[in-house]
Amino acid sequence: MVGADVIFKAVAEGTRRRILQVLLQHELSVGELVTVLGHPQSTVSRHLGILRSAELISDHRNGAAVHYAMSSATVGGDNEALGTQVVRWLEKERLPEVLLKRLEEVLECRHAEAVDFFEGVGGRWDQMRTDCFGSGFHLEALAALLPGEWSVADIGCGTGYLLGPLAAVFAKVVAVEPVAALLRAARERPELAGVGHVEFRSGDLRNLPLSDGEVDLAIAMLVLHHVPDPAGALREVSRVVKPGGRVLVVEQQPHRSEAFRELMQDRWWGFEPADLAEQLGAVGFTRVGWHELRSAAATSASAPETPGLFVLSGVKEE
């Protein structure tokens, strides 16, 4: 712990007190402090070293620059240490207007640089973000709005592209898929390595390998247009959802794209959303609603004309 003599020596000099007052307003780099204080960089750096030795400030790297801020040990809380008392004393001292004005200009310049960066990036921003974080992080984030203790079934999971985001949020995830090759690919997804609360079950919507009321949420993502009896499939979905649970269906709107249907080997030419909504109501779901997914569009120039998508949801009757 730093002795009282070190702290008193650190705050005895006027420039160092000004630095602390400025940093109480906002963390800054050395260059920004030089601009605000109007002192040479060598002088500011020397004073920063003394304040850091007294543990009144801390530093961290932010990109190419090192930023300085008040030490967390001296700011906030009920800490009665000498450093905290010094900070409380300095908080009562008002910065001269000229320094406040320079600080405002520095922060405005920092904001302008950020705006210039995004102006330069332009339409490349989405791809840059996807390159850095992947294309599914938003699904995981949105799923966090639902209770984490839920059990969720991904019906017709395919290769399991939804399983990672679901497993990151929910206590139990059941992946259901009738095609052995696809279910095997889902099991082997790298993001599921070591994950113990994802179960893989072979089966389809004619007779789901789930017990009555086993799950809180059933997801059928682009599945119904492959099954012979969509109405019967929805009855089976209703069976496995517990009272008060939810269903989420994503489906294709009606279309006449022969090339698309041939490519995807679809059984049905899409569905009228209102018709599926009515069928969900008939099998025991309430508060049924739907809307178009406006962001769903082909991203490849070689893709055939694709149908629009819609999402349908409902709550199982208590």
Nearest CA among 189, 191, 190, 245 for reference residue 213:
245
Helices (H), 12-148: 14-25, 30-37, 41-53, 82-91, 97-121, 125-133, 137-143
Mean pLDDT of the chain: 88
Do residues 128 and 121 lie in contact, with contact meaning Cβ atoms separated by under 8 Å?
yes
Q: Which two tokens stand for residue 203?
A: 């089966």
The set of residues, in sequence order, having a beta carbon less than 8 Å from that of 102 and lying 6+ positions away, is 35, 36, 38
Q: According to the model, what pLDDT value does residue 280 have?
A: 96
Tokens 């018709």 locate to 275
Tokens 């004005």 locate to 101
pLDDT tens, residue by residue, 2-49: 788 888 999 899 999 999 999 999 999 999 999 999 999 999 999 999
Do residues 16 and 10 lie in contact, with contact meaning Cβ atoms separated by under 8 Å?
yes
Tokens 């019906």 locate to 155
Q: According to the model, what pLDDT value does residue 305 have?
A: 72
pLDDT tens, residue by residue, 36-73: 999 999 999 999 999 999 999 999 888 778 999 998 77
- Indicate the pLDDT class of residue 302, thresholds 50, 70 and 90: low
pLDDT tens, residue by residue, 100-124: 999 999 999 988 888 787 788 777 8
User: Which amino acid makes up residue 103?
Assistant: L
- Indicate the pLDDT class of residue 281, thresholds 50, 70 and 90: very high
pLDDT tens, residue by residue, 200-217: 999 999 999 999 999 999
pLDDT of 152 strictly over 60? yes
pTM above 0.85, yes or no: no
CA–CA gap between residue 170 and residue 290 (Å, rounded): 24
Do residues 95 and 25 lie in contact, with contact meaning Cβ atoms separated by under 8 Å?
yes
CA–CA gap between residue 22 and residue 19 (Å, rounded): 5
Q: According to the model, what pLDDT value does residue 268 have?
A: 80
- Buried residues in 228-266 as b, exposed as e (16+ CB within 10 A): eebeebbebbbbbbbeebbbebbbbbeeebeebbeebeb
Do residues 203 and 176 lie in contact, with contact meaning Cβ atoms separated by under 8 Å?
yes
Mean pLDDT computed over 282-304: 78
pLDDT of 299 strictly over 70? no
The set of residues, in sequence order, having a beta carbon less than 8 Å from that of 301 and lying 6+ positions away, is none
Q: Please report the domains of the chain, with CATH numbers, ordered by start residue.
A: 4-130 (1.10.10.10), 133-316 (3.40.50.150)
User: For the packed helices 125-133 and 97-121, what is the interaxial angle rounded to 10 degrees?
Assistant: 90
User: Which amino acid makes up residue 272?
Assistant: E
- Indicate the pLDDT class of residue 296, thresholds 50, 70 and 90: low
- How many C-beta atoms surround the C-beta of residue 168 within 10 A? 18
List, as one string, the DSSP characters of 243-275. Answer: EEEEEEEEEEPP---HHHHHHHT-SS----HHH
